[in-house]
């Protein structure tokens, strides 16, 4: 399996004495040490950036927003929560009361670890999933995305290895790349991570002299696959991690959104000492407040607080108090149940539309919660190459290649059912099926049959629809 290339910079001549002239405005070239690639740029600071910036990438999901948000396009791409059912009048009154009665506190600097009030509420939320925690072990972050960044920052040096499920969350992969780490994907099936694959790949990496820092996984309703690890599989994965002395980073943004039953137990609740847990209010309240958290052992927590203070001084205080007020004055558990009912209708609408419309040979996962379905196309169709043609047919999705660090996922598509109304989901799936049929006909015309493709692993084995 290939890994992220570690690119080293070859310094070009300094621009310190360069003035803005016609000559200086002309394109410059700079070479990298791999394949002597030549870049053309008008950026006068091109040769001053750190090597780390080579890992910064445009998110394929974010790049889609401008097109996908056009009203005529049915977007099955982004994982944007549907917050239309939130009691906005209650939230508005709560915010006004905060300013009127506690304005001097809620609009001031706060603690780098997060306010005690919100950390206590976070522990109450985690307890719903059977995770009993001490508020002192919680570090508040600007969403769980910053939590990912801080955890990677304190554990990883350039060249270190991170194990990640296959496929994995694009936001995590971009963060890992920005810290110049190598991602090695662990194989999955319909029950989640394969313990033997984890053991084998960690063993091989260490035998090759690589430093493997942690396993990153979303065990509940994974983004993008929608797969949830079975209870037995969780125990097996944790046993292998313990055997290998491997830290586990558990990302759990969708844990409360189990559409078919009670919340599944977290990895952290089973192995408190070897799991760093990431949580977020973005999916169960509102993403605009940007409040997430890390639950970690005390020594790790101390490092996280120092990293947080150096990055932001303190996470946004007003957002923390706003969410604390909401959790105090509103039936948030009932609100989560309302979200579950809404998302269940949307998921079922998508699964029914896929069964009715998809070309023969197409397969997809059947998620028990979360926001996403992972689709595998038949034949030699490339999801990234097909996307512009899909947009012209007024449907958008996220290509599967976004969710791998090693270039796989050409035949995969992530479909999001969380935001569009059920009738729009049906229309979007119909349009997508039409585009796929056209692409399959083109592939057949040019004899791009399965036998001529380069053999690849296209991700977890989904249920056959």
pLDDT of 435 over the 50 cut:
yes
pLDDT at 37 over 80: no
Residue-level pLDDT at 379: 83
Asked if the model's pLDDT at residue 23 lies above 80, the reply is no
User: Using an 8 Å Cβ cutoff, are 191 and 224 in contact?
Assistant: no
pLDDT of residue 4: 33
- Cβ contact 176:162 at 8 Å: yes
Closest among 363, 335, 351, 359 to 434, alpha carbons compared: 359
Number of Cβ within 10 Å of residue 51's Cβ equals 13
pLDDT (tens digit per residue) in 358-397? 999 999 999 999 999 999 999 888 999 999 999 999 999 9
* CA distance to 137, 141, 229, 297, per residue, from 272 (Å): 11, 20, 18, 8
Check pLDDT > 80 for residue 416.
yes
pLDDT at 363: 97
pLDDT digits (tens, 9 = 90+) for 257-308: 999 999 999 999 999 999 999 999 999 999 999 999 999 999 999 999 999 9
Lowest mean pLDDT among 95-104, 114-123, 197-206: 95-104
Task: Give the residue from 460, 459, 405, 408 showing the smallest Cα distance to 175.
Answer: 405
Dist CA 465 CA 460 (whole Å): 15
Residue 135 has pLDDT above 50, yes or no: yes
Average pLDDT, the chain: 87
pLDDT digits 0-9 by tens, 297-325: 999 999 999 999 999 998 999 999 999 99
Question: What is the reported pLDDT for 69?
Answer: 67
- Under the banding of pLDDT at 50, 70 and 90, the label for residue 45 is confident
Q: Tell me, what's the pLDDT at 258? A: 97
Identify the band that residue 448 occupies on the pLDDT scale cut at 50, 70 and 90: very low
Closest by CA position to 397, among listed 414, 384, 382: 414
DSSP bridge partners of 249:
216, 276
The pLDDT value recorded for residue 21 is 35
In angstroms, how far is CA 96 from the centroid of its own chain?
Answer: 33
For residues 105-118, one letter each, b for 16 or more C-beta atoms within 10 angstroms of the residue's C-beta and e for the rest, the string is ebeeebbbbbbebb
Cα–Cα distance between 59 and 238 in angstroms, integer? 31
Confidence of residue 71 (pLDDT cuts 50, 70, 90): confident
pLDDT for the residue 6:
36
180 contact partners, CB below 8 Å, separation of at least 6: 6, 51, 52, 55, 158, 159
pLDDT band at 48 (very low <50, low <70, confident <90, very high): confident
| φ, ψ (nearest 5 deg) of residue 103 | -55, -40
Query: Which comes out higher in pLDDT, residue 19 or 146?
Result: 146
Ranking 31-35, 172-176, 437-441 by mean pLDDT, the lowest is: 31-35
Using CB atoms within 10 Å of the CB of residue 371, give its burial: 0 to 12 exposed, 13 to 18 middle, 19+ buried. Answer: buried
Q: Which CA distances in Å does 377 have to 36, 74, 386, 414, 464? A: 36, 20, 11, 11, 12
């Amino acid at each position: 399996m290939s890994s992220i290339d570690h690119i080293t910079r070859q310094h070009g001549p300094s621009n310190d004495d360069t003035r803005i002239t016609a000559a200086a405005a002309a394109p410059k070239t700079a070479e990298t040490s791999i394949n002597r690639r030549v870049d053309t740029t008008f950026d006068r600071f091109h040769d001053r950036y750190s090597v780390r910036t080579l890992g910064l990438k445009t998110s394929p999901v974010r790049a889609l927003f401008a097109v996908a948000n056009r009203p005529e396009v049915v977007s099955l791409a982004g994982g944007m929560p549907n917050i239309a059912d939130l009691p906005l009048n209650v939230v508005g009154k709560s915010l006004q009361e905060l300013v009127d009665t506690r304005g001097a506190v809620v609009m001031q600097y706060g603690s780098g670890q997060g306010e005690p009030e919100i950390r206590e509420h976070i522990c109450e939320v985690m307890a719903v999933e059977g995770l009993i925690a001490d508020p002192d072990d919680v570090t508040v972050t600007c969403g769980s995305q910053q939590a990912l960044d801080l955890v990677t920052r304190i554990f990883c040096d350039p060249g270190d290895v991170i194990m990640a499920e296959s496929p994995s969350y694009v936001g995590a992969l971009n963060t890992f790349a920005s810290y110049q780490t190598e991602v090695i994907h662990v194989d999955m099936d319909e029950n989640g991570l394969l313990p033997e694959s984890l053991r084998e790949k960690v063993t091989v990496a260490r035998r090759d002299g690589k430093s493997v820092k942690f396993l990153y996984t979303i065990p509940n309703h994974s983004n993008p696959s929608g797969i949830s690890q079975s209870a037995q599989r969780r125990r097996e994965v944790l046993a292998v991690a313990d055997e290998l002395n491997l830290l586990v980073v558990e990302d759990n943004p969708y844990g409360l959104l189990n559409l078919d039953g009670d919340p599944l137990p977290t990895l952290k609740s089973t192995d408190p000492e070897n799991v760093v847990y990431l949580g977020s209010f973005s999916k169960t309240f509102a993403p605009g407040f940007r409040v997430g958290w890390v639950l970690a052992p005390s020594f790790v927590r101390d490092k996280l607080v120092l990293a947080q203070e150096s990055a932001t001084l303190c996470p946004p205080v007003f957002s923390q108090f706003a969410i604390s007020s909401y959790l105090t004055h509103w039936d948030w558990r009932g609100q989560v149940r309302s979200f579950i009912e809404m998302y269940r209708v949307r998921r079922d609408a998508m699964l029914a539309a896929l069964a009715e419309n998809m070309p023969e040979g197409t397969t997809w996962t059947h998620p028990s919660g979360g926001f996403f379905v992972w689709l595998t196309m038949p034949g030699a169709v490339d999801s990234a190459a097909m996307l512009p043609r899909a947009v012209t047919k007024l449907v958008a999705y996220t290509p599967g290649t976004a969710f791998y660090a090693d270039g796989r996922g050409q035949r995969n598509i992530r479909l999001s059912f969380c935001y569009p109304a059920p009738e729009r989901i049906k229309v979007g799936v119909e349009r997508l099926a039409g585009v796929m049929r056209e692409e399959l006909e083109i592939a057949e015309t040019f004899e791009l049959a399965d036998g001529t493709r380069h053999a690849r692993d296209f991700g977890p084995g989904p249920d056959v629809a």
